[in-house]
Structure 1
Amino acid sequence: MSSDSGQAKATILYVDDEDMARKYFARAVGGEYEILLASGAEEAMELLWGQGARIAILVTDFRMPGRNGGDLLRQVAREFPTVVRILVTAYADKDMLLDTVNSGEVFRILEKPLGLAQVRDVLRAAVERHREREVRHQRLTAIDETLAFLAHELNTPLAAIANFAQGVQNRSEADYSVQRQGEIGQAAAAMYSNAQYCLAVISSFLQSVRNTAGGAPAKTAPDINAGALIMALLDTYPFAEGQRAWVQVETPGDFPVYTLPNCVALVLSSVMSNALRALADVPAPSLRFVVEAVPRPRIRICDNGPGIPPEVMERLLVDPVTTYAEAGGSGLGMIFCNRVMQSFGGGIQIDSQSGAGTIVTLEFPNTKSRMHRSDR
């Protein structure tokens, strides 16, 4: 990062057992970057453990006494995933480096003897990559913190509701008539089912985000199409009696959901829950999921409910407003859903008129997001 941009210089850690090579590198690019020097892998790790927060790029020679550069790259990839890793090697080493390159441990390879123009070009690209990684890391951290707060606030009361519902269901058998027992038991079972579902969603979502923030390899979580994600949600959602028949899914243009599908499923679940509640008193309720890939990937959730009042609509994604305060709604759901979608380059659009239904559109980025992928 050049000082011409008005920002602090990026810090580069250069590792080479040759004293002259370290001095050459520091002289060549020291005017543009802050340079830290290490003579081997162990010294490099000591610097990273002490100053890792400010190190953006690691440039290391491959052939060194003791641990080689490939081994150092693998450790840094595990412990400092936002650091961009560059390998320096002689031509004769190329065959030996194939495994290191293929495993994604390196962003670029620089060939000895180092050419100044090439070094500068690669470092500029590396700084840009580091900026991207930092932004993604901050977004994931924001989601993790938000979810941790929600999990803390919701887990205890949901568990209490589940236990209470089970107790009510058991006690109703002795205290009420057969008809009343059935009514109370049904209500208690529904309470228990909903509480258990919410607890499962929170747990799954939290694990997904924490795995992502920890750099879990993408290959362990294959991509899932939007249509399949919706069908999976419908298979597990605790519908009240008859509600499932209201829902239809249309996929004129399916597309893969590359980023945090569990997060997207949680957003879909929240939007559908709001729609089902709005349709409770509608004579012929209808809820449609429409998946479209053109002009950009999106999922539209369309209902024929009473619509959203204008005074609520204009504040819905900005302030905590709700039309269901008497049922315990806080109005934070849509704000949280929008934040999740925005975290990977998407967003939420809402179109609604009183008496004319509501369309909630989840918009996805046109290009493959790599928030949850190792990008070297």
Structure 2
Amino acid sequence: MNDIRQTQPTILYVDDEELAGKYFARAVDADYEVLLARSSDEAIAVLQQDSARIAVLVTDFRMPGRDGGDLLRQVAQEYPHIVRILVTAYADVDVLLQTVNTGEVFRILEKPLRPVSVRETLQMAIERYRERAIQNQRLMAIDETLAFLAHELNTPLAAIALNASSIENRGDVEHDSPQEIIGAARSMRESAQYCIAVVSSFWRSVHNGHRKLAEGDARSEITAHGLISALLDTYPFAAAQRSWVQVEINGDFPVVTQPNCVALVLSSLLSNALRAVADVPSPSVRFTVTADPGPRIRICDNGPGIPPEIKARLLTDPITTHAKSGGNGLGLILCDRVMQSCGGGLQIESTSGVGTTVLLDFPPIKGQTHRSY
């Protein structure tokens, strides 16, 4: 989100009078990048090439061919992120009311343009653009969170459904092995507990984030160590699983972007690691947090490792070795997508017979110093 405020805004100015365009550019070019177009059609051609970086459209109303009102309507429909300003020298009340009432224009500037008025209006327009951009980022973060949450719940719920269906379809359960029934029931219970843990972990990360923001205490930031601690406090460990997990903090760091999504990533990776080490003689899962040379969380297990042909496809294809327990192979793909949306990334290192390491890389935090332990 910081990049939204640091990038120099780009303005597209549309006027059939060449001198008017040059006058506008000279008036504001110290603060904005200005692109010029001489007609509505030329403006659309510019937008087709550079719409992603254009924040504000300023267009004259009276132009040969398609007028500014027609251009505003098309831009409102095809490029809704762009804030639109109308320039006119005519007191056409009906036209002005129509453009304002239909939401096609943010502000109206009257000719001749006054530099002070133009700069004030552009400043308000840029603030509106930034508000929209931040809102869109938040909506994207919510979409990522909901997709991840749905995946993390659907997988264990599918396991519950598969085991329940298996028991139901056996017919005469009196002749079934008691161990088989007990095993299916245990799997259902653990899957249900995991669903509860996912919801609890998600709620806790969101709740803590809102509380700390409300307190306004910079020292109460959400950190990598804090997310791991919250996960280990709420995860539904079975039997001795908790004793398999160790945490090493070499340097803590704040998780600024989408901490609730990162919490779900950690929960998913812990689940995978515990499943991987379930049958090894001395199971071990280790979380390591480092801040130097860059913010990173490393999750290592001493399980059987991942075959090279599967590892090569884990972040691109829905491939899984746990289909019988309801897995669909989307977990790591979603983990990678979330980390990329946070400005970081995910890497997988694995050797057959040795174990697997998943690396979560985070973007550097400007002005932050890490905490050593």
Instruction: Tell me how far apart the structure 1 counterparts of residues 160 and 355 of structure 2 sit (CA, whole Å).
Output: 34
Corresponding position of 2:337: 339
Q: Distance in 1 between matches of 2:127 and 2:336?
A: 31
Match of 2:94? none
Please state how far the C-alpha of 1:352 moved relative to its aligned partner.
1.3
Q: For 1:188, give the aligned amino acid.
A: A
Kept in 2, the 8 Å contact 1:287–1:301? The answer is yes
* Matching of residue 196 in structure 1 with residue 193 in structure 2: yes
Partner of 2:364: 366
Q: Which residue of 2 aligns with 1:260?
A: 258
Q: Give, in whole Å, the separation in 2 of the partners of 1:311 and 1:219.
A: 48
Correspondence for 1:329: 327
Query: What is the alpha-carbon distance in structure 2 between the residues aligned to residue 361 and residue 258 of structure 1?
Result: 18
Query: Cα offset for 1:277?
Result: 1.2
Matched to 1:344, the amino acid is C
Task: Report what 1:108 is aligned to.
Answer: none
**C-alpha contact 1:246 1:285 (8 A) present in aligned 2:** yes
Question: How big is the alpha-carbon RMSD for the aligned residues of Structure 1 and Structure 2?
Answer: 4.9
Asked if the contact 1:158–1:195 (Cα under 8 Å) also holds between the matched residues in 2, the reply is no
Q: 2:291 aligns with which of 289, 293, 297?
A: 293
Secondary structure at the aligned position of 1:351 is classed as: strand
- Within a 5 Å distance, the mapping from 1:165-176 to structure 2 comes to none
Partner residue, 2:11:
2
- In the TM superposition, 1:129-140 aligns within 5 A as 129=130, 132-133=133-134, 136-137=137-138, 139-140=140-141
The partner residue of 2:85 within 6, 16, 35 is: 35
Q: Please, which runs of 5 or more residues in structure 1 have no aligned partner?
A: 14-25, 38-45, 60-112, 369-376
| Partner Cα distance (2:122, 2:85) in 1 | 17
Alignment of 1:64-103 (within 5 A): none
- Does structure 1 conserve the Cα–Cα contact (< 8 Å) formed by 2:156 and 2:326? no
Give the 3-state SS of the residue equivalent to 1:281 in structure 2.
coil
Q: 1:245 to 1:218 in 2, by over 3 A?
A: same
Greater shift after overlay, 318-327 or 264-273?
Answer: 318-327
Q: Deviation per CA, 1:285-321, whole angstroms, max 9, x where unpaired?
A: 2211000111111100011222111111111111111
Alpha-carbon distance, 1:362 to partner: 1.0
Deviation sequence 1:204-263 (CA, Å, 0-9, x none): 648978999xx9994379532211211221122112222211111000101122233222
Check if 1:232 corresponds to 2:230. Answer: yes
Q: What TM-score results when the alignment is normalised by the length of structure 1?
A: 0.57
Q: Secondary structure of the residue that 1:345 maps to in structure 2?
A: coil
1:276 counterpart SS class: helix
> Equivalent residue of 1:2, what SS?
strand
On the 8 A contact 2:251/2:292 being kept in 1, the answer is yes
CA distance in 2, matches of 1:161, 1:207: 30
Alignment of 1:25-64 (within 5 A): 34-35=84-85, 51=103
Q: Any conservation in 2 of the 1:224–1:261 contact (CA below 8 Å)?
A: yes
Any stretches of 5+ residues in structure 2 without a counterpart? Answer: 1-9, 13-34, 37-45, 59-67, 73-81, 88-97, 109-113, 367-373
- Shift in CA distance, 138/291, structure 1 to aligned 2, threshold 3 Å: same
TM-score by length of 2: 0.58
Quick one: distance in 2 between partners of 1:232 and 1:209?
A: 12
